[in-house]
Copies of this chain bind each other. A is one copy, B any other.
Amino acid sequence: MIEDKSQEFTSLSKLGEFGLIEHLTQHIQIKQPNTLKGVGDDAAVLDFSNTKTLVSTDLLVEGVHFDLSYMPLKHLGYKAVVVNLSDIYAMNGTPTQITVSLAVSNRFPLEAIEELYAGMLLAAETYNVDIVGGDTTSSQKGLIISITAIGHAQENEIVYRSGAKPNDLLVVTGDIGSAYLGLQVLEREKEVFKVNPNNQPDLEGYTYLIERQLKPEARKDIKDLLEKLEVKPTSMIDISDGLSSEILHLCKQSGVGCNLYEEKIPIDPQFINTCEEFNVDSTTIAINGGEDYELLFTIDLKDFDKIKGNPNLTVIGHITEQASGANLVTRAGQAIALKARGWNALTED
Protein backbone atom coordinates (compact mmCIF):
# COMPACT_ATOMS: atom_id res chain seq x y z
CA MET A 1 0.00 0.00 0.00
CA ILE A 2 2.89 2.31 0.71
CA GLU A 3 4.16 1.32 -2.71
CA ASP A 4 1.08 2.63 -4.54
CA LYS A 5 2.64 5.40 -6.58
CA SER A 6 -0.67 6.70 -7.93
CA GLN A 7 -1.50 8.42 -4.64
CA GLU A 8 -0.28 11.76 -3.33
CA PHE A 9 1.51 11.37 -0.02
CA THR A 10 2.01 13.80 2.79
CA SER A 11 5.36 13.98 4.53
CA LEU A 12 5.18 13.61 8.30
CA SER A 13 7.68 16.44 8.75
CA LYS A 14 5.09 18.84 7.30
CA LEU A 15 2.76 18.18 10.19
CA GLY A 16 5.26 18.03 13.03
CA GLU A 17 4.67 16.09 16.20
CA PHE A 18 1.76 18.08 17.60
CA GLY A 19 0.16 18.27 14.17
CA LEU A 20 0.36 14.50 13.80
CA ILE A 21 -1.17 13.86 17.21
CA GLU A 22 -4.01 16.27 16.51
CA HIS A 23 -4.56 14.83 13.07
CA LEU A 24 -4.68 11.24 14.27
CA THR A 25 -6.77 11.83 17.37
CA GLN A 26 -9.40 14.12 15.86
CA HIS A 27 -11.87 11.30 15.26
CA ILE A 28 -11.66 9.78 18.71
CA GLN A 29 -14.99 9.72 20.49
CA ILE A 30 -15.05 8.94 24.18
CA LYS A 31 -17.60 6.24 25.00
CA GLN A 32 -16.64 4.86 28.40
CA PRO A 33 -18.40 6.57 31.30
CA ASN A 34 -15.23 6.08 33.36
CA THR A 35 -13.13 8.17 30.94
CA LEU A 36 -13.32 11.64 32.48
CA LYS A 37 -10.64 13.14 30.22
CA GLY A 38 -9.00 11.50 27.23
CA VAL A 39 -6.38 12.77 24.81
CA GLY A 40 -5.26 16.39 25.09
CA ASP A 41 -3.87 17.04 28.56
CA ASP A 42 -0.74 15.92 30.41
CA ALA A 43 -2.53 12.76 31.51
CA ALA A 44 -5.87 11.05 31.01
CA VAL A 45 -8.28 11.08 33.95
CA LEU A 46 -10.18 7.87 34.65
CA ASP A 47 -12.68 6.83 37.29
CA PHE A 48 -12.20 3.39 38.83
CA SER A 49 -13.81 4.24 42.13
CA ASN A 50 -16.01 1.14 42.25
CA THR A 51 -13.55 -1.39 40.86
CA LYS A 52 -9.89 -2.36 40.74
CA THR A 53 -7.74 -1.00 37.94
CA LEU A 54 -5.88 -3.33 35.55
CA VAL A 55 -2.88 -2.14 33.53
CA SER A 56 -0.88 -3.99 30.89
CA THR A 57 1.60 -2.84 28.28
CA ASP A 58 3.24 -4.20 25.12
CA LEU A 59 5.90 -3.00 22.73
CA LEU A 60 5.82 -4.08 19.07
CA VAL A 61 8.88 -3.55 16.89
CA GLU A 62 9.01 -3.77 13.09
CA GLY A 63 11.22 -6.62 11.93
CA VAL A 64 10.85 -8.35 15.30
CA HIS A 65 7.09 -8.61 15.86
CA PHE A 66 5.75 -7.79 12.43
CA ASP A 67 6.81 -7.65 8.80
CA LEU A 68 5.11 -4.95 6.75
CA SER A 69 5.74 -6.83 3.51
CA TYR A 70 2.71 -9.00 4.25
CA MET A 71 1.07 -7.25 7.20
CA PRO A 72 -1.27 -4.50 5.98
CA LEU A 73 -0.95 -1.45 8.24
CA LYS A 74 -4.62 -1.38 9.14
CA HIS A 75 -4.44 -5.00 10.25
CA LEU A 76 -1.30 -4.23 12.21
CA GLY A 77 -3.04 -1.40 14.06
CA TYR A 78 -5.98 -3.65 14.84
CA LYS A 79 -3.78 -6.50 16.02
CA ALA A 80 -1.56 -4.24 18.16
CA VAL A 81 -4.63 -3.18 20.13
CA VAL A 82 -6.12 -6.67 20.33
CA VAL A 83 -3.00 -8.29 21.77
CA ASN A 84 -2.99 -5.74 24.59
CA LEU A 85 -6.68 -6.11 25.36
CA SER A 86 -6.11 -9.86 25.54
CA ASP A 87 -3.98 -9.31 28.66
CA ILE A 88 -6.86 -7.57 30.42
CA TYR A 89 -9.29 -10.37 29.47
CA ALA A 90 -6.69 -12.81 30.84
CA MET A 91 -7.21 -11.22 34.27
CA ASN A 92 -10.98 -11.81 33.83
CA GLY A 93 -11.33 -8.05 33.52
CA THR A 94 -12.91 -5.65 31.04
CA PRO A 95 -10.61 -3.32 29.09
CA THR A 96 -11.90 0.24 28.91
CA GLN A 97 -9.03 2.47 27.74
CA ILE A 98 -5.77 2.31 25.80
CA THR A 99 -2.88 4.67 25.22
CA VAL A 100 -1.04 4.42 21.91
CA SER A 101 2.55 5.55 21.32
CA LEU A 102 4.13 5.43 17.88
CA ALA A 103 7.70 5.93 16.72
CA VAL A 104 7.80 6.28 12.96
CA SER A 105 10.68 6.66 10.54
CA ASN A 106 10.36 9.29 7.85
CA ARG A 107 9.93 6.66 5.17
CA PHE A 108 6.28 6.45 6.21
CA PRO A 109 3.99 9.07 4.69
CA LEU A 110 1.08 10.39 6.73
CA GLU A 111 -1.34 8.19 4.79
CA ALA A 112 0.42 5.06 6.04
CA ILE A 113 0.15 6.18 9.66
CA GLU A 114 -3.51 7.02 9.06
CA GLU A 115 -4.08 3.44 7.90
CA LEU A 116 -2.37 2.11 11.02
CA TYR A 117 -4.41 4.39 13.24
CA ALA A 118 -7.61 3.49 11.41
CA GLY A 119 -7.00 -0.13 12.42
CA MET A 120 -6.49 0.96 16.02
CA LEU A 121 -9.69 3.02 15.99
CA LEU A 122 -11.58 0.05 14.54
CA ALA A 123 -10.29 -2.22 17.29
CA ALA A 124 -11.14 0.41 19.92
CA GLU A 125 -14.68 0.53 18.54
CA THR A 126 -15.04 -3.24 18.26
CA TYR A 127 -13.88 -3.79 21.83
CA ASN A 128 -15.53 -0.65 23.22
CA VAL A 129 -12.37 0.96 24.59
CA ASP A 130 -11.36 4.64 24.52
CA ILE A 131 -8.01 5.84 23.18
CA VAL A 132 -7.08 8.27 25.97
CA GLY A 133 -3.49 9.23 25.33
CA GLY A 134 -0.22 8.50 23.68
CA ASP A 135 2.84 9.90 22.09
CA THR A 136 4.16 10.13 18.54
CA THR A 137 7.76 10.61 17.63
CA SER A 138 10.22 9.80 14.89
CA SER A 139 12.39 6.70 14.90
CA GLN A 140 15.77 6.09 13.32
CA LYS A 141 14.54 2.91 11.75
CA GLY A 142 11.18 1.30 11.26
CA LEU A 143 7.94 1.47 13.14
CA ILE A 144 7.55 0.92 16.86
CA ILE A 145 4.17 0.64 18.58
CA SER A 146 3.72 0.81 22.33
CA ILE A 147 0.25 0.27 23.73
CA THR A 148 -0.89 0.31 27.33
CA ALA A 149 -4.28 -1.25 28.03
CA ILE A 150 -6.26 -0.23 31.08
CA GLY A 151 -9.29 -2.04 32.38
CA HIS A 152 -11.11 -2.94 35.51
CA ALA A 153 -12.74 -5.73 37.45
CA GLN A 154 -14.32 -6.27 40.82
CA GLU A 155 -11.67 -7.55 43.20
CA ASN A 156 -13.40 -10.92 43.61
CA GLU A 157 -13.63 -11.38 39.83
CA ILE A 158 -9.89 -11.02 39.13
CA VAL A 159 -8.11 -14.23 38.15
CA TYR A 160 -4.34 -14.43 38.61
CA ARG A 161 -1.82 -16.85 37.15
CA SER A 162 -1.07 -18.18 40.59
CA GLY A 163 -4.30 -19.90 41.71
CA ALA A 164 -4.11 -23.34 40.04
CA LYS A 165 -4.14 -26.32 42.41
CA PRO A 166 -3.76 -30.08 41.97
CA ASN A 167 -6.76 -31.81 40.33
CA ASP A 168 -7.94 -28.59 38.67
CA LEU A 169 -8.79 -29.04 35.00
CA LEU A 170 -6.75 -27.25 32.34
CA VAL A 171 -9.03 -25.57 29.79
CA VAL A 172 -8.36 -23.71 26.56
CA THR A 173 -10.71 -21.57 24.49
CA GLY A 174 -11.06 -21.92 20.71
CA ASP A 175 -8.32 -23.70 18.79
CA ILE A 176 -4.59 -23.10 18.67
CA GLY A 177 -1.56 -23.18 16.38
CA SER A 178 -3.22 -21.63 13.35
CA ALA A 179 -1.84 -18.10 13.84
CA TYR A 180 1.71 -19.42 13.75
CA LEU A 181 1.04 -21.60 10.72
CA GLY A 182 -0.57 -18.62 8.99
CA LEU A 183 2.72 -16.79 9.49
CA GLN A 184 4.59 -19.69 7.87
CA VAL A 185 2.27 -19.55 4.84
CA LEU A 186 2.85 -15.80 4.51
CA GLU A 187 6.61 -16.24 4.85
CA ARG A 188 6.56 -18.88 2.11
CA GLU A 189 4.60 -16.63 -0.24
CA LYS A 190 7.01 -13.79 0.49
CA GLU A 191 9.93 -16.01 -0.63
CA VAL A 192 8.04 -17.00 -3.78
CA PHE A 193 7.34 -13.33 -4.47
CA LYS A 194 11.03 -12.47 -4.06
CA VAL A 195 11.95 -15.00 -6.74
CA ASN A 196 9.17 -13.95 -9.10
CA PRO A 197 7.43 -10.65 -8.31
CA ASN A 198 4.79 -11.35 -10.96
CA ASN A 199 3.63 -14.41 -9.09
CA GLN A 200 0.36 -13.71 -7.31
CA PRO A 201 0.29 -15.19 -3.83
CA ASP A 202 -1.79 -18.35 -3.64
CA LEU A 203 -3.60 -18.08 -0.32
CA GLU A 204 -6.69 -20.13 -1.11
CA GLY A 205 -7.01 -22.99 1.29
CA TYR A 206 -5.22 -21.01 4.01
CA THR A 207 -7.79 -18.32 4.71
CA TYR A 208 -8.45 -19.35 8.30
CA LEU A 209 -4.75 -19.60 9.15
CA ILE A 210 -4.01 -16.20 7.61
CA GLU A 211 -6.94 -14.54 9.32
CA ARG A 212 -5.71 -15.90 12.66
CA GLN A 213 -2.30 -14.34 11.97
CA LEU A 214 -3.34 -11.04 10.43
CA LYS A 215 -6.58 -10.30 12.26
CA PRO A 216 -6.64 -12.10 15.59
CA GLU A 217 -9.44 -11.37 18.03
CA ALA A 218 -9.20 -11.29 21.80
CA ARG A 219 -11.66 -13.47 23.75
CA LYS A 220 -13.91 -10.76 25.09
CA ASP A 221 -16.77 -13.27 25.22
CA ILE A 222 -15.22 -15.60 27.79
CA LYS A 223 -15.75 -13.46 30.89
CA ASP A 224 -19.50 -13.31 30.23
CA LEU A 225 -19.63 -16.96 29.24
CA LEU A 226 -17.96 -18.10 32.46
CA GLU A 227 -20.21 -15.83 34.47
CA LYS A 228 -23.28 -17.39 32.86
CA LEU A 229 -21.90 -20.87 33.48
CA GLU A 230 -21.19 -19.80 37.07
CA VAL A 231 -17.56 -20.86 36.82
CA LYS A 232 -14.70 -18.79 38.18
CA PRO A 233 -11.31 -19.97 36.91
CA THR A 234 -8.68 -20.65 39.56
CA SER A 235 -5.93 -19.26 37.29
CA MET A 236 -5.78 -17.74 33.82
CA ILE A 237 -3.34 -16.48 31.15
CA ASP A 238 -3.63 -15.59 27.48
CA ILE A 239 -1.81 -17.57 24.83
CA SER A 240 0.55 -15.14 23.16
CA ASP A 241 3.81 -17.09 23.26
CA GLY A 242 2.53 -20.62 22.72
CA LEU A 243 0.52 -23.09 24.80
CA SER A 244 3.59 -24.82 26.18
CA SER A 245 5.18 -21.62 27.41
CA GLU A 246 1.92 -20.37 28.96
CA ILE A 247 1.26 -23.66 30.76
CA LEU A 248 4.73 -23.42 32.26
CA HIS A 249 3.98 -19.87 33.45
CA LEU A 250 0.79 -21.04 35.18
CA CYS A 251 2.55 -24.04 36.74
CA LYS A 252 5.50 -21.98 37.95
CA GLN A 253 3.41 -19.21 39.46
CA SER A 254 0.93 -21.61 41.00
CA GLY A 255 3.60 -23.99 42.26
CA VAL A 256 2.04 -27.01 40.55
CA GLY A 257 2.66 -29.51 37.76
CA CYS A 258 0.29 -30.67 35.01
CA ASN A 259 -0.50 -33.27 32.42
CA LEU A 260 -1.44 -31.94 28.98
CA TYR A 261 -3.01 -34.58 26.71
CA GLU A 262 -1.90 -34.46 23.09
CA GLU A 263 -5.15 -35.97 21.82
CA LYS A 264 -7.22 -33.26 23.51
CA ILE A 265 -5.50 -30.22 21.98
CA PRO A 266 -8.09 -28.38 19.83
CA ILE A 267 -6.84 -27.74 16.29
CA ASP A 268 -8.62 -26.70 13.11
CA PRO A 269 -8.96 -29.05 10.08
CA GLN A 270 -7.22 -26.46 7.87
CA PHE A 271 -4.39 -26.43 10.41
CA ILE A 272 -4.06 -30.23 10.18
CA ASN A 273 -4.06 -30.24 6.37
CA THR A 274 -1.45 -27.51 6.19
CA CYS A 275 0.80 -29.21 8.74
CA GLU A 276 0.71 -32.28 6.50
CA GLU A 277 1.51 -30.18 3.43
CA PHE A 278 4.41 -28.46 5.26
CA ASN A 279 5.47 -31.85 6.63
CA VAL A 280 5.59 -30.60 10.23
CA ASP A 281 4.26 -32.26 13.38
CA SER A 282 0.92 -30.67 14.21
CA THR A 283 1.33 -31.13 17.97
CA THR A 284 4.74 -29.43 17.96
CA ILE A 285 3.29 -26.46 16.09
CA ALA A 286 0.12 -26.36 18.21
CA ILE A 287 1.93 -26.23 21.53
CA ASN A 288 4.83 -23.98 20.50
CA GLY A 289 3.28 -21.61 17.97
CA GLY A 290 2.18 -18.34 19.50
CA GLU A 291 -0.13 -15.41 18.76
CA ASP A 292 -3.45 -17.26 19.00
CA TYR A 293 -4.68 -14.98 21.82
CA GLU A 294 -6.93 -17.69 23.15
CA LEU A 295 -7.30 -17.98 26.92
CA LEU A 296 -5.84 -20.79 28.98
CA PHE A 297 -7.30 -21.33 32.43
CA THR A 298 -7.84 -23.83 35.19
CA ILE A 299 -11.11 -24.67 36.92
CA ASP A 300 -12.00 -26.69 39.95
CA LEU A 301 -12.82 -30.30 39.08
CA LYS A 302 -16.33 -29.90 40.52
CA ASP A 303 -17.08 -27.32 37.80
CA PHE A 304 -16.49 -29.81 34.98
CA ASP A 305 -20.19 -30.48 34.41
CA LYS A 306 -20.84 -26.77 33.93
CA ILE A 307 -18.45 -26.43 31.00
CA LYS A 308 -18.80 -29.93 29.50
CA GLY A 309 -19.80 -29.84 25.86
CA ASN A 310 -19.45 -26.08 25.47
CA PRO A 311 -18.10 -25.55 21.93
CA ASN A 312 -15.86 -22.65 23.07
CA LEU A 313 -14.06 -24.61 25.75
CA THR A 314 -11.86 -27.71 25.66
CA VAL A 315 -10.44 -29.56 28.64
CA ILE A 316 -6.86 -30.39 27.62
CA GLY A 317 -5.40 -31.73 30.84
CA HIS A 318 -5.26 -31.47 34.59
CA ILE A 319 -3.10 -29.97 37.31
CA THR A 320 -0.84 -32.21 39.38
CA GLU A 321 1.56 -31.78 42.28
CA GLN A 322 4.64 -29.72 41.43
CA ALA A 323 6.96 -32.71 41.85
CA SER A 324 5.32 -34.48 38.89
CA GLY A 325 6.44 -31.68 36.54
CA ALA A 326 4.63 -30.25 33.53
CA ASN A 327 4.20 -32.96 30.93
CA LEU A 328 2.77 -33.60 27.51
CA VAL A 329 1.10 -37.02 27.48
CA THR A 330 1.33 -38.29 23.90
CA ARG A 331 -1.29 -40.34 22.05
CA ALA A 332 0.92 -43.33 22.80
CA GLY A 333 0.64 -42.59 26.52
CA GLN A 334 4.20 -41.39 26.93
CA ALA A 335 4.85 -38.40 29.25
CA ILE A 336 7.35 -35.83 27.89
CA ALA A 337 8.44 -32.79 29.89
CA LEU A 338 7.04 -29.56 28.40
CA LYS A 339 9.59 -27.00 27.29
CA ALA A 340 9.04 -23.30 26.66
CA ARG A 341 10.21 -23.11 23.09
CA GLY A 342 7.66 -20.35 22.53
CA TRP A 343 8.38 -17.38 20.47
CA ASN A 344 11.21 -15.74 22.33
CA ALA A 345 12.19 -12.44 20.82
CA LEU A 346 15.60 -12.15 22.44
CA THR A 347 16.91 -15.65 21.84
CA GLU A 348 18.79 -16.09 18.62
CA ASP A 349 18.21 -19.73 17.91
Give the interface of A toward B (CB within 8 A): 12-13, 15-20, 36-37, 40-65, 86-88, 90-91, 93, 97, 99, 101-103, 132-142, 144, 146, 148-151, 155, 158, 160-162, 236-238, 253, 340, 344-348
Find chain B residues with CB under 8 A from A16 CB.
Answer: 344, 346-347
Contact B144 A144 (CB under 8 A): yes
- Whether B97 contacts A346 by the Cβ 8 Å rule is no
A13 touching B346 in the complex, CB below 8 Å, given contacts A46-B55, A57-B133: yes
CA–CA, A158 and B36, complex, Å: 11
Complexed CA–CA distance, A155 and B16 (Å): 33
List the B residue with the shortest CB-CB distance to A238: B42
Question: Could you tell me if B62 and A53 are in contact, using CB atoms closer than 8 angstroms?
Answer: no
Nearest B residue to A19 via CB reads B346
User: Are A101 and B347 interface neighbours, CB within 8 A?
Assistant: no
A57 to B150, CA, bound (A): 12
Contact of A140 among B18, B63, B88, B237 (CB under 8 A): B63
Bound form: Cα–Cα A63–B93 in Å: 38
The one of B101, B140, B345 in contact with A138, judged by C-beta atoms closer than 8 angstroms, is B345
Best-surrounded residue of A17, A43, A49, A65 (most CB of chain B within 10 A): A43
Whether B52 contacts A253 by the Cβ 8 Å rule is no
